[in-house]
Amino acid sequence: MQETKIIGISGGSGSGKTTFVNRVRAESAGVDVLVLQLDHYYHDLSHLAPEARDRKNFDHPDSIDSSLLMTQLAELSKGRSVYRPTYDFATHTRSKETVQIFPAPVIILDGIFSLYWAEVRSILSLSIFVDVDDDVRFIRRLNRDVNERGRTVDGVIQQYLSTVKIMHDQNVAPQKQEADIVVRWMKYNDHAVSMVSGLIKNWAGMA
């Protein structure tokens, strides 16, 4: 069997990682590409009282269960299916339901900490950082949180200044130094999408 190829995609919140991944996948039609969202791997906080859960810092990499992630990536690479956890953001707990995920020749790991852990980086065939200026990311986040999540402008600004910006500068921005390629995503960068999907098709023997 062919070796599993894992691509890690990081970048700040609101940079467009998921949009980029969706476009790459669409352009890689015919190749079985599994996308894993890092968000499902948050630690279960069911042992804490609800108020204590809300005080946790979800913008810090320690909030993610990286050892479970590593175990499951290793299993998938060996061609075995895994039961991926499902995270409930409303209660900050793992749902009882797990989702059976089947191995695929190409796996894309999408999340703000995808390139954070050396152990995870060591199993990647390609690492990508989606790079967007902070002001543009903030505007995208503000639009999303106000229009889709019912937040107030003041609330979004407050959260950005008190935690999001600091955590980004400390834990997310440095991952740019670890990336094989840095994709500018101020505009929809079609050439970058074609390059990455070209590589995926190449791995699959289609190009």
Ligand X SMILES: Nc1ncnc2c1ncn2[C@@H]1O[C@H](COP(=O)(O)OP(=O)(O)OP(=O)(O)O)[C@@H](O)[C@H]1O
**Which position among 5, 17, 23, 43 is part of the footprint of ligand X (CB under 6 A)?**
17
Give first-to-last CA distance, the chain, whole Å: 19
Contact flag: residue 144 with ligand X (CB under 6 A): yes
Contact flag: residue 14 with ligand X (CB under 6 A): yes
Selection from Mg ion, ligand X, none that 138 binds (CB < 5 to 8 A by kind) is none
What's the CA gap between 196 and 135, in Å, rounded? 26
Site string for ligand X, 182-201 (x = CB under 6 A): ---x-xx-------------
Contact flag: residue 105 with ligand X (CB under 6 A): no
Selection from Mg ion, ligand X, none that 14 binds (CB < 5 to 8 A by kind) is ligand X
**Which position among 18, 22, 63, 189 is part of the footprint of Mg ion (CB under 5 A)?**
18
Scanning 13-21, 27-35, 121-129, 172-180 for contacts with ligand X by CB under 6 A, the matching segment is 13-21
**Interactions with ligand X, residue window 63-102 (CB under 6 A):** none
Distance of closest approach, residue 69 Cβ to ligand X, in angstroms? 16
- Asked if residue 73 lies in contact with residue 100, where contact means CB atoms within 8 angstroms, the answer is no
Distance of closest approach, residue 16 Cβ to ligand X, in angstroms? 3
**Which position among 19, 66, 125, 163 is part of the footprint of ligand X (CB under 6 A)?**
19
Looking at the Cβ atoms of 22 and 125, the one nearer to Mg ion is 22
What's the CA gap between 149 and 169, in Å, rounded? 24
Under the rule (CB under 5 A), what is the footprint of Mg ion?
17-18
